[in-house]
């Protein structure tokens, strides 16, 4: 079964702690993305990566960090510098074969709550 997995589904964090959200894909996609979704809002891009060992900041990268050591994996760390981390986090991926044909597919998401 090909797809994108995210873990954990729910995550609780105390203030001041760093937490890491996992994202794995077995679709052989080159590009991977992290989005944040707040209630009643659309998705906002945090970071993206188009190749192993390289990643770029999105629109709201402050307080987050990522790594891309393997093509299949793109973990997101929410650091204590992120002022309001409670949100729903979605990981996505797509091929880079052609601008008009590369549909972005999403994982099931991780809901992070800061206590």
Partner 1 sequence: AQKITQTQPGMFVQEKEAVTLDCTYDTSDQSYGLFWYKQPSSGEMIFLIYQGSYDEQNATEGRYSLNFQKARKSANLVISASQLGDSAMYFCAMREAYSGAGSYQLTFGKGTKLSVIP
Residues forming the site for partner 1 (CB under 8 A): 31, 33, 40-45, 48, 50, 56-59, 88, 90, 92, 94, 96, 99-100, 102-109, 111
Closer residue to partner 1 (CB): 84 or 101: 101
Minimum separation from the CB atom of position 2 to partner 1 (A): 14
Tokens of 76: 């997101």
Closer residue to partner 1 (CB): 8 or 108: 108
């Amino acid at each position: 079964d090909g797809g994108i997995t995210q873990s954990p589904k729910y995550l609780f964090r105390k203030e001041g702690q760093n937490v890491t959200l996992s994202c794995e894909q077995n679709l052989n996609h080159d590009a991977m993305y992290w989005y944040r979704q707040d209630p009643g809002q659309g998705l906002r891009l945090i970071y993206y990566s188009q190749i192993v060992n390289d990643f770029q900041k999105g629109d709201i990268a402050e307080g987050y960090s990522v790594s891309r050591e393997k093509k299949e994996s793109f973990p997101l760390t929410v650091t204590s510098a992120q002022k309001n981390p409670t949100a729903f986090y979605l990981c996505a991926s797509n091929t880079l074969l052609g601008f008009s044909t590369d549909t972005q597919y999403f994982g099931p998401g991780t809901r992070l709550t800061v206590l």
